[in-house]
Structure 1
Amino acid sequence: MSDSRWIPLESNPEVMNEWAESVGLLEGSAEFVDVYGLDPELLAMVPRPVKAVILLFPLTGGIDDWRKSEDDRIAAEGQPAIDPTVFWIKQTIGNACGTIGLLHALANSDVAYVPESPLQKFIDLCKDKTPQERAHILDSTSLFASAHHSAASSGQTAVPSDLDTDLHFTCFVQAPEASARESQVGTGVRRLIELDGRRAGPVDRGESENLLEDTAAYVKEHVLSRGVSIHFSMIALAGRDSNSGL
């Protein structure tokens, strides 16, 4: 873990949109929006297409231990192969999970960036790097620390004097089956992938026909069931068009 420690980011679409546009997301190509609840009628209010979902949840009620035990199980037993183009960053900076969640959402979506923007350059630079090398680039680049600090300071909640927090961001995206890309034959089957820099790597959450609904189903079964319903929130990255495919 790096010695760096950032201000916790607020789960707020305005904060996230400010961060994204400050580093190069093309205005009007996509935006972060609230997901007001997990019931079908509330999910239907979210603009489509949904390109990524960011979840904020507390690492309490045994959920952190459960996630660590899941990493141990995956290391011992394996999981379905993850599409090799999925972009994942290891978190080494304290309280940087908000920025890493945003990077995971944008880097794994077909959104448009301002040409030669810092965000575009960072993603291009990291493509051929390991997750740890990407973490080092993030830690050694002042740009994202500054963007994070600015966004964290602009939220509705006052900046805390105590930077210790048990709240954590993770991100959900869709990806093709790894075998489909390897064979260069698209099967149409997509997988729900969880991207969390605190984990040992990306986690396959099963087949996915609808990113938002499938994420909501996962949250109901594995997050809310552990008693964290009061302290969770979801933000969706919604775009104007969808160019999915291999």
Structure 2
Amino acid sequence: MAATPSRWIPLESNPDVLNQWASKAGLVTSQAEFVDVYGLDVDLLAMVPKPVKAVILLFPIAQTIENRRKVEDERVKNQGQHPVDPTVFYIKQTIGNACGTIGLLHALANADVTLAPESPLEKFIDECKEMTPEERAKALETTPLFANIHAEAASSGQTTATEADMHTDLHFTCFVQAPDPPRTDVGSSEPRRLLELDGRRVGPIDRGGVDKLA
């Protein structure tokens, strides 16, 4: 089996690109799809179809943001955080420029969406259920089908496709809802938690209780 490249072509932050990736991977797009969020004003958020299953955010990589994230990772590693539900699917990012695919995997694996039976995504999630985040990353590295899906989607955007060895200053992360694990030490008034899932982080980051994403 040929080795998967250590760097992929970056995905464009474009609903058409994300939907193409998702459809190829196995999402039944007649029941769920990615759309643009044009802003956080009430009127603009009202344009987003409901219910929202997940949010994929593209943000600029700046040193101040990187420093803040490193501090937060150290705090979570050393002091812990609110418990994260063990059923949450989290995968590390070990392939350069693959943050778009990592974000899509996090969104679709943790959202209540319909996947086509025996589709690449359904099989990958099922095969990775008992793996660690690092083992899932290795499985992605050795699954050429996802490299092909990513490459095809990356070349379909409105902007000119870049080279795989390009170092981009943009990064995708994902936000999903997850159950609040039962705790014996304290009662919880929030039935669900907001998690940030980013393959470059120490693990899932709990962002607090949430009623709905939008």
TM range (shorter): over 0.9
Match of 1:66 in 2: 68
Q: Deviations over 1:85-123 (max 9, x none)?
A: 010000000000000000000000111111111110001
Q: Which residue of structure 1 aligns with residue 169 of structure 2?
A: 166
**Aligned equivalents of 1:27, 1:175: Cα separation in 2:** 22
User: What secondary structure, in the 3-state scheme, does the structure 1 residue paired with 2:35 have?
Assistant: strand
1:133-181 C-alpha deviation (Å, 9 max, x unpaired): 100000000011000000000000101246111100000000111116x
Residue 27 of structure 1, CA deviation = 3.0
Report the equivalent of 1:197. Answer: 199
Aligned to 2:117: 115
Structure 1 counterpart of 2:182, one-letter code: S
Aligned sequence identity (%): 65
Partners of 1:6 and 1:93 within 8 A in 2:
yes
Q: TM-score, normalised by structure 1?
A: 0.81
Note the C-alpha offset of 1:77.
Answer: 1.3
Q: 1:77 aligns with which of 76, 79, 98?
A: 79
How many angstroms apart in 2 are the aligned matches of 1:173 and 1:105? 7
Q: Which residue in 1 is equivalent to 2:99?
A: 97
**Which consecutive unaligned segments of at least 5 residues does structure 2 have?**
none
Give the residue type in structure 1 aligned to 2:166. Answer: L
* Alpha-carbon distance in 1 for matches of 2:121, 2:77: 32
Matching residue of 1:132: 134
**Aligned-residue CA RMSD in angstroms?**
1.8
Q: Unaligned 5+ residue runs, structure 1?
A: 213-246
Higher relative contact order (CA 8 A, sep 6+): 1
Cα distance in structure 2, aligned partners of 1:78 and 1:188:
19
What CA distance in whole angstroms lies between the structure 2 residues aligned with 1:188 and 1:36?
A: 28
Q: Which has the higher helix share?
A: 1
Q: Please state if 1:28 is matched with 2:30.
A: yes
1:154-233 aligned within 5 A: 154-161=156-163, 163-179=166-182, 189-212=191-214
Letter in 1 for 2:9: I
- Of Structure 1 and Structure 2, the greater strand share is in 1
Residue by residue, what CA displacement relative to the aligned partner does 1:15-43 show, whole Å, maximum 9, x if unpaired? 00001101111131200000000111111
Q: Note the C-alpha offset of 1:187.
A: 6.6
Matched residue SS, 1:91? coil
